Amino acid sequence: MEATLYALGLVERELLLFAAVWFVIGAADDLGIDMLWLWLRLSGRARTGRLEGPADQPLRGIAAVLVPAWREQDVVGAMIRHSLDAWPHAEMRFYVGCYRNDPATLAAAIASTRDDRLRIVVHDRGIM
């Protein structure tokens, strides 16, 4: 019995040492990436791409955005209107997922617009 406990203690110690080594390697890797980013940022070599204005080119295909909404009745209408205005492309589709047991959000989403690009999807199971 005592030999078994001793052997289990050795195995435990070895596994902890193995885990600790890989934890330190992972931390050093993260620290190295962070230091590289900081050096590139401070030296001015890391640039962030920015759009100068709205993209006026049409989409090359259909694009879709899915917005899950649960108890979002106060903001979902404004978000839908803004999204449709921000992306005026005819190929854009917006799917707003509502739940059957959240009638306030569903009503707000339906009342927000009559745009053909908007699809309201009602999930047949509610949350909680």
Q: Are residues 81 and 116 in the same domain?
A: yes
Q: Is residue 13 part of a domain?
A: yes
Q: Are residues 36 and 73 in the same domain?
A: no
Q: Indicate the residue among 9, 25, 51 that finishes a domain.
A: 51
From first to last of the 128 residues of the chain, give the pLDDT tens digit.
899 999 999 999 999 999 999 999 999 999 999 999 999 999 988 887 887 776 677 888 999 999 999 999 999 999 999 999 988 889 999 999 999 999 999 999 999 988 999 999 999 876 66
Q: Count structural domains, the chain.
A: 2
pTM: 0.59
Q: Are residues 47 and 85 in the same domain?
A: no
How far is it, in rounded angstroms, from Cα 91 to Cα 116? 10
How far is it, in rounded angstroms, from Cα 14 to Cα 125? 48
How far is it, in rounded angstroms, from Cα 28 to Cα 95? 42
Q: Is residue 57 part of a domain?
A: no
Domain range enclosing 19: 1-51
48: Cβ contacts below 8 Å, ≥ 6 apart: none
pLDDT at position 55, please? Answer: 67
How far from the centroid of its chain's Cα atoms is residue 111's Cα?
A: 27
Q: Is residue 26 part of a domain?
A: yes
Strand order in the sheet with 92-99: 63-68, 92-99, 118-123
